Chain A
Amino acid sequence: MATKKNVWMMAATVVAALMLAACSTEVKRVGVEEVIDISGAWNDTDSRLVSEEMIRDSLSAGWIDRYSLSLKKRPVVIIGSIRNLSQEHINTNTFVNDLERAFVNSGRVDVVASKSERGDIREERSDMDLNATEATRKAMGKETGADYMLMGSINTIIDAQDSEQVRFYQVDLTLVSLADNSKVWIGQKKLKKEIKNAKFR
């Protein structure tokens, strides 16, 4: 009888342990390059693949050298709008920031603050006029004008039926000359995913 009771006690303990394990939050650190697809939606891996392709292509294309050789200075780029024309709410800042960082760190391209960023800077400069010393004050009207604007879009084509989907993403980035609207670089990255959702849960 006592043995039977012990068996029940053990079983209850195991069940309780399993239930507690299932209830607790589990956090596991993973490498940023590890591919983890959960829902099939746009994720960090897609962003990274776009970044890598755009950085490689933009820095190896000839537009930087052509500009530097003819004008003997580095081209200046400003980030414009990256239109999300897809079916998903996609944060484009992740790969745009990667590209911006690559431009600056390469030492071959200068980047100036974008429209959304410069408001704060101008406000600060205006504040300096009142509060900063003459020696440290930064004057208005001395900003660097950009030579090129980075613009782009994300487009998707989705084909879905029942629990299956094929998602095609195309990210296009373009550098447009602010002087004459000519396009000096066009980068493109295409991604395709097949998603099969479970029919049973």
Chain B
Amino acid sequence: MSIAPCSAAGRDWLSRQFFGPLVCMAAFFLSGCATYSVGIATVEQQTSNRDLDGALKSLDELKLTGADQMLYYLNKGTLLHFQGDYSASNQQFEAAKSLMERLSAVSLKEQTGSVVVNDTVKAYEGFPYEQLLIYAYEELNYLQAGNVDEAAVEARQFDIKQRLVAGDNPSATYLSGAFVRYLNGMTYEEVGERDSARIDFSKAVDGYEEQSSLTGFGVPASLKADLDRMENPQAMKRVTTARKSSGVEVQSPDLSNNGEVVFILNDGLGPTFAENIIHVANPDPQHGAAIMSIAVPRFVQRPVPVASFEISGGSGTATSELVEDVNAIARKSLDDRLPAITARAVARMMVKNAIARKAKNQNGDSGTGLIISIVTDVGAIVTERADTRSWSLLPGNILMARLVLPPGTHDLKVTYYDHSGNVLATREFDAVKVTAGRRVFMSDYYLWPARPHRK
């Protein structure tokens, strides 16, 4: 079929070529963004009210497929973890890892789409810090299910993944996965691989030290005690003491005669991103406006309700330590990505301007030309959206407490305190079996009920 560009039919065809798809894409992507942000808010609200069945149902109803498939796996895996369905949770995280591997290959179609439409066209593969945390949750699922050998498999997989992530981000020392290394060390100890445990405890210490300027906290005292116990064989006979940043002394567990409860709390909701419209000078001002508006993601910190918690059972009590500041790492990750995101957004606006210019030139000052001009400008604006996707159900912080208890069955009480020292909630865990020389892993989450502080 031949086209006569100056004919009315030709103009109609051009209109369809440029503007139809642009407007359709705009409508599609805008509706997609709205659906995810609104839908995930419902999931979060139900999660905070501990209505996990409802949250799972709402997540399913979101129908996160295609470019958002990863978000489905990650959030569903987290909800099932909260629910204590460890096997089903790991199915989701395994699917996420498999998808992550596939998405590590570059899609030319998506790259082009991100330059022509916006970054949400690209399949979500997760920030590197999110990718590392998948291993932690899967490992924790295995540990809580009592399957330490499979947990150790996750620890070994993490080692490879973290090396690849570090290789891709050589200056991002905060991507050491310090918390996951800490967890790995305990896992290796559980399966009797003392050398691997020592190495991961040591790497965890290095990781915490490297990220301390970012997170504001150093090496957890209990980790220091672990490493001391590993590096000094004679320390096996004695009980080493380390000092927590809060000044509280902790003792490395005398695990040969006692057992240990390791309690992990997912504290609040972690990183979320909002859209930020910024104005930049048009590098090609002869074509298009001198100032361009581009959309980039902006970090939004959500409240982290629990400042610390206390776990008690029998005559023993242990207080929590901060082991992962997800918010701080997420903020830094976004900051590091922002220059590339901004550069892509500028390139995108230039492409959109070029498309609009071409369309206007081909349609002149006629009535049709005016309509097309308006449509292209509107299309360029409405398709300009920031990629605000994230693993929404990640916590803001992760806290951990380790309680040494004699072998037997114990009823445990966990009390959560806010930043003013007020009790937020108390949870009871009955008949927890503790075995000499072994660790029992437990976890919980706490979110603000019904999100009272959000607007």
Give the B-binding residues of A (Cβ under 8 A): 39, 83-89, 156, 158, 160-163, 197-201
Does B163 touch A at the CB level, under 8 Å?
A: yes
Residue of B with least CB distance to A87: B156
Interchain residue pairs with CB less than 8 A apart (11) = A39-B98, A84-B153, A88-B157, A89-B150, A160-B163, A162-B167, A163-B104, A198-B105, A199-B106, A200-B106, A201-B102
Does B210 touch A at the CB level, under 8 Å?
A: no
Residue of A with least CB distance to B193: A85
Q: Kindly list chain B residues whose C-beta atoms are within 8 Å of the C-beta of A39.
A: 98, 101
- Are A86 and B153 in touch, CB under 8 angstroms? yes
Give the Cβ gap from B1 to chain A, nearest Cβ, in Å.
Answer: 9
- Are A200 and B108 in touch, CB under 8 angstroms? yes
Q: Kindly list chain A residues whose C-beta atoms are within 8 Å of the C-beta of B153.
A: 84, 86-89
Does B130 touch A at the CB level, under 8 Å?
A: no
- Are A197 and B156 in touch, CB under 8 angstroms? no
Q: Which of A156, A160, A200, A201 has the most CB atoms of chain B within a 10 A radius of its CB? A: A201
Contact pick for A160, options B106, B152, B164, CB 8 Å: B164
Does B107 touch A at the CB level, under 8 Å?
A: yes
Q: Once the chains are docked, how many angstroms separate the CA of A162 from the CA of B166?
A: 11
Give the A-binding residues of B (Cβ under 8 A): 98, 101-108, 149-150, 152-153, 156-157, 159-160, 163-164, 167, 193
- Are B160 and A87 in touch, CB under 8 angstroms? yes
Q: Kindly list chain A residues whose C-beta atoms are within 8 Å of the C-beta of B163.
A: 160
Instruction: Identify the 4 closest CB pairs spanning chains A and B, nearest first.
Output: A201-B105, A87-B156, A198-B105, A87-B157
Q: Kindly list chain B residues whose C-beta atoms are within 8 Å of the C-beta of A197.
A: 101, 104-105
Q: Kindly list chain A residues whose C-beta atoms are within 8 Å of the C-beta of B106.
A: 199-201
- Are B160 and A160 in touch, CB under 8 angstroms? yes
| A197-B105, A201-B107 known; A86 vs B156 contact (CB < 8 Å) | yes
Q: Once the chains are docked, how many angstroms separate the CA of A156 from the CA of B156?
A: 10
Give the Cβ gap from B93 to chain A, nearest Cβ, in Å.
Answer: 12
Give the Cβ gap from B111 to chain A, nearest Cβ, in Å.
Answer: 10
Q: Once the chains are docked, how many angstroms separate the CA of A46 from the CA of B153?
A: 18
Q: Once the chains are docked, how many angstroms separate the CA of A87 from the CA of B102?
A: 18
Q: Kindly list chain B residues whose C-beta atoms are within 8 Å of the C-beta of A84.
A: 149-150, 153
Give the Cβ gap from A43 to chain B, nearest Cβ, in Å.
Answer: 14
Residue of A with least CB distance to B161: A160
Q: Kindly list chain A residues whose C-beta atoms are within 8 Å of the C-beta of B167.
A: 161-162
